Each structure stands twice: as C-alpha cells, then as structure tokens.
Structure 1
Amino acid sequence: MAQNPRSCGHSGRNLYCQQELTALSNYNKQTPPTIKKLLLFPFNGNAREAASVVEAINRQQETWQLLGFIDDDPKKQGLRFGDYSVLGGREHLERDKDTFVLAVPGRPETFRQRQALIASLNMAPERFVSIIHPTASIGIDCTVGGNTLLMANVVLTANVSVGQSVVILPNTVIAHDSTLGDYCLVGASVSVSGGVTVGKNCYLGSGARIIQEASIGERSLIGLGAVVINNVAAGSVMAGNPARIIRESR
C-alpha cells in the first residue's frame, strides 16, 4: 500500500511522491489510520511551526500523537509551547523507541552544522518522518525525502526533487525540474524557477528569487530578498538585487 506523506513516516533515503499521496488519500476515506507518536527536535522556531503543522494535519484526520519537544539545552527543558512541553534531552529517543521524530535544527548562523547535528542523534533512519501541511501542493513526479518539513502553501509544481532533512517555510514555490539538496533550509515566500539545482546544506533566505536553470553550490547562503541571476559557487554568501557575493562561508 502506498503511503501518504501527510500521515506516514519514511526512512531517510525513501521518498514520498504525488501518486502515493493520492492513493492513500482515497484509502483513508474507508480505513482509519494508526495514531503514531511523535517528538520534535530541538525546541526552536522550526519545531514550534512544525507543531502547528501537526495540528493542522490532525484537524483533517487524527494521525499524530505529538508528545512534545526534546532539546539538549537544560535551560529549555520544561518550557512550554501551547499544549506541549520540552520533555528533556535526547535520552527520550532511547526511552521511547516506538516514537517517530522530526529533527529540524538550524538557523542562518548554524545551518552548515545541520547534517552533523542530525547524525549525532544516532537514530535508525526509519524513525525519521516528514511532516507536510495539508495545504501544500505536490505536483506530478515530485519527490520529498525523509525528515522533511513542508509548511503551509508550499508548492512543488512538477518533477521537483526535495532531499532529506529539508525545511521549507510557508508560501514558497519551487518550479518544474528543480532539485533541492539534502539538509537545506528555505525561508518563506521564496521563488525557485524551473530547472534550478540547489546543492546540499544551503540556506535560501525569505523572499529570495532564483532565475531559471541556475546552480547554487552546496553550503551557500542566499540572503533575504536576494535575486540570483547567475550560478553561485559553493560556500558563497550572496545578497542584493542582483545578488552579489559578499563573502565566502566559513
């Protein structure tokens, strides 16, 4: 049976596709889903937004039992967001081995460390899940990797490939035949034109615009509102309209 990215977990290299979404959507009209337990890591803005996405999913069909957040910072443990609290550190991953996890660390200052931080959780790949807002649009021949968060009104138009451990904020559009590498962070209202390749571990700031068929090298940061009209070398920090390199990333 095909699986629905809005309600199911996949391992790191397995993919969700639009055809699977349609198949299980029809199936779920007759068969109630199994409620799955979920933890969010860490207690940051991405994870709090993910909690809102989980609630939006559950309003349509009860799918997830969100247990709360985990975070390595003792100062955050015990804090609350809505009905959910920070339960403790990563020891909960060992204690609750039947629980799925969405790991969404990363800020503009730390996005290059995302891969290492997620790997340090030492979790079996099949425990990572992707969470996709019900209003996201996933077109024909699009794929989404595991441990990925797509927020409200994200659009993948056609034949778009989104890697694993990616976060895409609301109202972003990624056009046909584009590829977004693993561990990328994409801000709100970003526009990626057709045929664009974004290397792994990049940060695309909110409001950025990428011209068709451009290539963004891995570990690059595209600043807020930047308009990219040329290829970007790996490790670049870009800003402005048109975007210009302002420094190489550390």
Structure 2
Amino acid sequence: MNDLIIVGAGGFARETAAAAVAAGRRVLGFADDDPALHGTVRSGLPILGGVAEVVGTYDAAVVVCVGNPRDYTARKRIVDRLGLTPDRYATVIHPAASLGSGSVVGPGSVLLAGTVLTADVVVGSHVAVMPQAVLTHDDRVLDYATIASGVRLGGGAVLDTGAYVGSGALIREGVTVGAWSLVGMGSVVLRDIPSGEVWAGNPARLLRSSSS
C-alpha cells in the first residue's frame, strides 16, 4: 500500500508525514481522537476523524505516531486497541536516513532524517527514531522503543521493549536499557538500567520508578 494514514496529529506525526512524502508515499491525512481537531488541517494535511473510524474506513497503510516522555506507553495502547495485522503497518524511512548492511527495521517503525544504522542493527516494530540518532553495529532496539534526536548507541547496546532515550543521550557499548525505562536527555549511561526506572545525569543514576 502506497497510501498512508498517520495516527496522531502532534509533532512526531507531522514529522513522519514529511518523511513519508519525501520517501514517495501518498499521505491521506491524520487520525486523532480529539474531536476538536476533526476537519482541521495540520502541515497541509487533513485530520480525517477518530482513530478507529479512519483506520476502518480507508484502504491504506497505517503508522502510529503518538507518545512523549510524559506518556510513552501511548503507542502500544493504540496498537493493541486497533488489533491490526503487522502487514497493515507501514515502515517509514526518510531518504536521508542511512541503513548499513544487515540492518532491519520492523513494521510500524519510523526513522527520521539523518538517522544512521551502521551495520547489523535490528530495530523492532513501532519504534520511533528521531533525527540524527546513530545506532552502531549489533544494536538491538525492541518494539515500542523511542530514540530521541541526537542519541548515540554504542555497539551491542540493547533497548528493551518500550524504552525511551531522551535527546542527546549516550549509551555505552553493550549496555541494556530495561523495558519501559526512561533515560533523561543528555545522560551518559555506563551500566545496565533495570526495567521500569527513570535515570538521568552524567554518569546516569536512578531517579525514581517510571510508574511514580
């Protein structure tokens, strides 16, 4: 499917629309559950209606582009609610992104301009990678992770399911960031981070549980 519906209408959704257009896709518009947005236009594209209604109406591929550091589980909640098969989801890769040999990107994931995957990097499904992030050899990024702009992952690093890494953070080679943990922007992570925690600083240290 060349036609695309983008779920969400915030900044990441609009950035994804621009990347999709640059990659030659036809973006039909956005789907958002805020009724105040329906019928309005963002970045030259219409907000077509609520998520379930739009996705069920249009014969188009879908990419879910929601979530922020205050609610980075939103993408998974919407994907779970929609219950679509993986082949319905688009993979959006900006033409200015670079994918090295052996690298793979799963359905529903987005790589914005300037992203670099050097070699044998595995990116799962519904992953968001913002501009100028660098993922080096043998990194593994699991489903629903978010990598903000300017992040650098050393070789063999692992971002577990739903992990969120803030802008400009550096992750040492071989380090694992646990599932649904958050790394604050500009942090330097030198050791493994358990699941469900918030870390920040240089070197990064535990601040709190991600659920508190």
Give the TM interval when normalised to the shorter protein. over 0.9
**Gap runs ≥5 in structure 2:** none
Distance (whole Å) between structure 1 residues aligned to residue 92 and residue 135 of structure 2: 18
1:114/1:201 contact within 8 Å kept: no
Match of 1:103 among 43, 52, 64: 64
Match of 1:51 among 5, 9, 17: 17
* Superposition deviation, residue 118 in structure 1: 1.4
1:148 paired to 2:114:
no
Distance (whole Å) between structure 2 residues aligned to residue 126 and residue 72 of structure 1: 23
Q: Could you give the per-residue CA deviations for residues 1-53 of structure 1, whole angstroms, max 9, x where no partner exists? A: xxxxxxxx6xxxxxxxxxxxxxxxxxxxxxxxxxx211100111111001111
**1:82-121 paired onto structure 2 within 5 Å:** 82-90=43-51, 91-96=53-58, 98-121=59-82
Partner SS state of residue 23, structure 2: helix
1:112/1:202 contact within 8 Å kept: no
Normalised by the length of structure 2, the TM-score is 0.96
1:37 paired to 2:3:
yes
* Superposition deviation, residue 82 in structure 1: 2.7
| Structure 1 letter corresponding to 2:153 | V
Query: Which residue is equivalent to 1:186?
Result: 147
Taking every aligned residue pair, what percent have the same amino acid on both sides?
37
Normalised by the length of structure 1, the TM-score is 0.81
2:14/2:43 contact within 8 Å kept: no
Q: Could you give the per-residue CA deviations for residues 58-102 of structure 1, whole angstroms, max 9, x where no partner exists? A: 3xxxxx221110001112212212320101012011111x21111
**1:159-198 paired onto structure 2 within 5 Å:** 159-198=120-159
- Bigger relative contact order, structure 1 or 2, given CA contacts below 8 A and separation 6+? 1
- Tell which structure's C-alpha radius of gyration is larger: 1
**Gap runs ≥5 in structure 1:** 1-8, 10-35, 59-63
Distance (whole Å) between structure 2 residues aligned to residue 92 and residue 234 of structure 1: 35
Partner SS state of residue 43, structure 1: coil
Partner SS state of residue 111, structure 1: coil
